[in-house]
């Protein structure tokens, strides 16, 4: 039984009824036989063997992949398959969009059901048999997951118990409070698709690699004894963080960057910003970027446009940039440029 309604990435089509990300990009591959599929995906995932689940039916798989920093995202949709992956150094999160994938990991069977579970594999070898190939594989280093979990918990928190990231986990979401990160993961993949399709490439300023890492870290279990909020939005350390953001808001910034810079846990970071500014840290950074955008519009360089400024400030949508700018300053961004032109 499906517990979660998977948010669609775009309108379903005959080529992609599951609405998976990355399958409308120019470098998408359409494979007509299992061997071609295995060879095509080899650079992203070490598939050692692959066969059609139903040899008496036509075979077709559509595949798309993207590397974001240390993370690789792979989308596949098409015919049912059975296959084997060997020698994985990185961990993987298998996110199903349709059907059921039956995994054999070291003699242990794990059934990954669309809308009910995601599957964490720590690396090594595994076999899969799936009635329909419709899902996303997120490949990421285990040490990066451990690092982001420790950063979210704060430097005072103990480390995760040994072995937490070394064992396969079928992550089930039986309770409504557990569905939050699960849905956020699907939405992050939709955002990844929208950002890539809209611009033809992925803006580094979005820091979607950090977002995916943090969501995977949260999905794998409670953070290790995460301390309660202990920092107010006043005082030396917080003021130093605000100064640092002011000096670096033109660069891509993530929550993990803020935690590393401030040595605050994620809860303390959120608490401090809401106490001081009435918003979260990323909303505060957006405000600072709008101030930066205003400065660039009022003192434009040759070739400066509203679109170029929006992109420099990390906006995927120019319409959203215009809306936020209008709300912040009471006038459209184009007005600032027109004022300075003869």
Share of the chain above pLDDT 90, in %: 48
Angstrom distance (rounded) from CA 324 to CA 308: 16
From the list 316, 336, 40, 319, the residue with the least C-alpha distance to 202 is 316
Reduced to 3 states (helix: H, G, I; strand: E, B; else coil), residue 297 is helix
Homologous superfamily of the 231-340 domain (CATH): Homeodomain-like (1.10.10.60)
From the list 339, 338, 208, 229, the residue with the least C-alpha distance to 282 is 208
- Same topology between domain 1-227 and domain 231-340: no
- Note the pLDDT tens digit of each residue in 154-164: 988 888 888 88
Our measurement of the distance from residue 263's CA atom to the centroid of its chain's CA atoms, rounded to an integer in Å, reads 23
- Note the pLDDT tens digit of each residue in 120-132: 999 999 999 999 8
**Is 96 within 8 Å of 55 (Cβ atoms)?**
no
**pLDDT at site 199:** 67
Reported as half-sphere exposure (CB side, CA atoms, 13 A), residue 224 has a value of 16
Per DSSP, 13 falls in state B
More confident residue, 213 or 27: 213
**pLDDT at site 16:** 57
**Is 308 within 8 Å of 336 (Cβ atoms)?**
no
**Is 69 within 8 Å of 116 (Cβ atoms)?**
no
- On whether the 1-227 domain is CATH 3.60.15.10, my answer is no
Contacts of 91 (CB under 8 A, 6+ apart): 120, 121, 122, 123, 139, 140, 141, 142, 145, 165
Average pLDDT over every residue of 266-275: 91
Q: Provide the residue ranges of all domains of the chain, joining segments of one domain with +.
A: 1-227, 231-340
Contacts of 288 (CB under 8 A, 6+ apart): 245, 246, 249
Q: Give this prediction's pTM.
A: 0.85
The answer on pLDDT for 173 being more than 60 is yes
Instruction: Give strand ranges (E) for the chain.
Output: 29-31, 47-52, 61-68, 71-78, 81-88, 91-96, 100-105, 108-113, 117-121, 124-130, 133-140, 169-172
Place of tokens 């089509």: 13
**Is 285 within 8 Å of 315 (Cβ atoms)?**
no
Contacts of 149 (CB under 8 A, 6+ apart): 160, 217, 220, 223, 224
Reduced to 3 states (helix: H, G, I; strand: E, B; else coil), residue 245 is helix
In this predicted structure, which of 9-18, 45-54, 81-90, 295-304 has the lowest mean pLDDT?
Answer: 9-18
The answer on pLDDT for 4 being more than 50 is no
């Amino acid at each position: 039984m499906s517990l979660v309604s998977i948010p669609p990435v775009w309108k379903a089509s005959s080529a992609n009824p599951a609405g998976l990300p990355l399958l409308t990009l120019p470098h998408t591959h359409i494979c007509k036989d299992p061997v071609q599929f295995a060879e095509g995906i080899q650079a992203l995932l070490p598939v050692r063997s692959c066969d059609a689940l139903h040899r008496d039916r036509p075979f077709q798989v559509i595949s798309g992949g993207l590397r974001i920093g240390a993370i690789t995202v792979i989308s596949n949709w098409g015919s049912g398959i059975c296959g084997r992956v060997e020698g994985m150094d990185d961990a993987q999160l298998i996110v199903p969009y349709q059907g059921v994938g039956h995994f054999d990991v070291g003699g242990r069977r794990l059934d990954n059901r669309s809308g009910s579970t995601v599957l964490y594999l720590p690396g090594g070898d595994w076999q899969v048999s799936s009635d329909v190939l419709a899902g996303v594989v997120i490949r990421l280093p285990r040490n990066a997951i451990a690092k982001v979990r420790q950063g979210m918990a704060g430097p005072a928190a103990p480390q995760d118990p040994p072995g937490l990231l070394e064992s396969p986990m079928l992550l089930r979401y039986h309770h409504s409070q557990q569905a939050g990160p699960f849905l956020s993961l699907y939405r992050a993949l939709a955002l990844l698709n929208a950002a890539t399709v809209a611009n033809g490439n992925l803006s580094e300023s979005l820091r979607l690699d950090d977002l995916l890492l943090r969501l995977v870290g949260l999905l794998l279990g409670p953070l290790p004894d995460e301390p309660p909020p202990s920092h107010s939005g006043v005082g030396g350390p917080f003021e130093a963080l605000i100064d640092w953001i002011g000096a670096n808001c033109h660069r891509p910034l993530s929550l993990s960057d803020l935690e590393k810079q401030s040595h605050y846990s994620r809860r303390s970071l959120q608490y401090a910003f809401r106490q001081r500014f009435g918003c979260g840290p990323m909303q505060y950074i957006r405000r600072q970027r709008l101030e930066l955008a205003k400065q660039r519009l009022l003192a434009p360089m040759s070739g400066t446009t509203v679109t170029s400024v929006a992109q420099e400030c990390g906006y995927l949508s120019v319409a959203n940039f215009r809306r936020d700018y209008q709300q912040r300053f009471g006038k459209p961004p184009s007005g600032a440029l027109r004022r300075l032109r003869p």
